[in-house]
Amino acid sequence: MENSAYGEIVIVGGGICGLATALALHRKGIRSLVLERSENLRATGVAIIMQANGWHALHQLGVASSLRQTAIPIQRGKLILLSEGSEVERERPLGTSKEFRCLKRADLIKAMAENLPEGTVRTNCQVLSVKLDPVTYFQHLTLSNGTILQAKVVIGCDGVNSVVANMVGLRPARFLLFSTCAARGFTYYHDGHQFPAEFVVMNKDQVRLGRVPVSYNLVYWFITRPRTNQDSTISKDPVLIKQSLMDSVKDFPTHVQEMVKNCELNTLNLTELKYRPPWDLLLENFRRGTVTVAGDAMHATGPFIAQGGSASLEDAVVLARCLAQKMQNHVDKKAQVKERNIPNNNNVIEEALSEYVKERRMRNFWLNLYSFLLEKKISARSLIVKVIILTVISVLFRDPDWHIHYRCGTL
């Protein structure tokens, strides 16, 4: 067993949140190490909708302008309810923020990774457990290859099945009860697609399809539908995923069926959805000593408001700001960059992490509650229940775009 000291901040997970956290810390002159279990930095989930609050966070990270070049601006949205025979029963506008674009996840991951100092990310590093050494007060991270790393601060950005969240003492994320499966894919149109720069959501019974152009050739789409017993087998084979999705959209308009039929098979993925209930966000303690969590590890939500990724970027900005405020400056002359030392006193770090948790708790609670209520409304079979949930939503969230107007502040 190799025992290697690292000593500073270790981030578990190199997804959107882990890379954003490392980049935010780097922008504040703080070094960190990202441990990612996969062989390469991967971007599960094809694409991600980014609205004004997410763009604000990307701007703080210094990657907004390059990412703007990769995706067209979306002008408006619409929700279509389909009746029998794929006829449009009702159509209404869907709010989109001032800046709404759909980014390829791979572009987002690449933009953040390219801005990190060399050696920040270690792939093939699966963290199995995190334990506090009661003598040195360092955290010991055991990796699947037997290595033990020591760190002063551990930030769990390891997604919905987080081992760090487990160590912090959080309850595991839950499966959504109803429309619990989401499929996502790209369709490439060699001669350009004919869709306007519009985010369209179509609902038919319990199937929901979203479509948004990334560029003039590329369209991102997602489908949510009730989970079936075959889903765990299907999800391993893109051909089977496609067959199953063709079946789900058989009563949708022809252009939707064509879009799914002509999708890029290697981009298809099918996921069972998990979430952290809103009351967990109020009640759980998201810090244990110098260990905390961010991103889906803290606040996994259903995809009903397309905010999980943006909220993860906000976490990163706030966490780096809170840590930086508590650290002393010093100049690393060799690297010619201003770097900050992690204080020896754990209390200072704990204070910084507590401030971070305090600042993020209520924001993430409201996001989770909003998404939770929307999911309950969509899945309710009784009209009375639907109306009650709608009333609660309109009382609690008078401005349907409240979540997009939020700004996480400067780094």
Q: How far is the CB of 190 from ligand FAD (least distance, A)?
A: 25
Q: How far is the CB of 345 from ligand FAD (least distance, A)?
A: 28
Contact in structure between 290 and 357 (CB atoms under 8 Å): no
Q: How far is the CB of 144 from ligand FAD (least distance, A)?
A: 8
Among 45, 185, 238, 278, binds ligand FAD (CB under 6 A): 45
Site residues for ligand FAD, window 117-146 (CB under 6 A)?
A: 126-127
Specify the residue for token string 């209930």.
277
The 3-state DSSP composition of the chain as helix, strand, coil percent (nearest 5) reads 35, 25, 35
As a whole number of angstroms, the distance between CA 311 and CA 98 comes to 18
Q: What are phi and psi of 30, to 5 degrees?
A: -115, 130
User: Which DSSP string do the residues of 163-232 spell out, in sequence order?
Assistant: HHHHHHTPPPPEE-SSS-EEEEEEEE-TT-----SEEEEEEETTEEEEEEESSSSEEEEEEEE---TTHH
Cβ distance to ligand FAD smaller for residue 65 or 129 = 129
Site residues for ligand FAD, window 276-295 (CB under 6 A)?
A: 295
Cα dihedral value 121, 56, 372, 179, nearest 10: -70
- String marking each residue 195-224 x if it binds ligand FAD according to CB under 6 A: ---------------------------x--
Asked whether position 389 contacts ligand FAD by CB under 6 A, the answer is no
| Amino acid letter, residue 396 | L
Asked whether position 273 contacts ligand FAD by CB under 6 A, the answer is yes
Q: How far is the CB of 231 from ligand FAD (least distance, A)?
A: 13
Cβ distance to ligand FAD smaller for residue 40 or 83 = 40
CA 357 from chain centre, in angstroms, equals: 17
Give the number of other CB atoms < 10 A from CB of residue 362: 11
DSSP-assigned beta bridge partners for residue 201: 79, 210
First CA to last CA across the chain, in angstroms? 39
Among 17, 23, 112, 121, binds ligand FAD (CB under 6 A): 17
| Amino acid letter, residue 44 | T
As a whole number of angstroms, the distance between CA 88 and CA 91 comes to 7
Tokens of 207: 């199937």
Asked whether position 35 contacts ligand FAD by CB under 6 A, the answer is yes
Q: How far is the CB of 267 from ligand FAD (least distance, A)?
A: 13
Tokens of 172: 């595991």
Among 159, 185, 238, 278, binds ligand FAD (CB under 6 A): 159
Among 77, 238, 278, 308, binds ligand FAD (CB under 6 A): 308
Cβ distance to ligand FAD smaller for residue 74 or 352 = 74
As a whole number of angstroms, the distance between CA 25 and CA 187 comes to 36
Specify the residue for token string 């401005």.
399
Sign of CA dihedral 218, 223, 227, 230: negative
Q: How far is the CB of 48 from ligand FAD (least distance, A)?
A: 4
Q: How far is the CB of 177 from ligand FAD (least distance, A)?
A: 16
Asked whether position 157 contacts ligand FAD by CB under 6 A, the answer is yes
Q: Pick the stretch among 29-37, 172-180, 192-200, 201-209 that binds ligand FAD (CB under 6 A).
A: 29-37
Cβ distance to ligand FAD smaller for residue 185 or 389 = 185
The footprint of ligand FAD (CB under 6 A) covers 12-18, 35-38, 45, 48-49, 126-127, 157-159, 163, 182, 184, 222, 271, 273, 295-297, 303, 306-310, 312
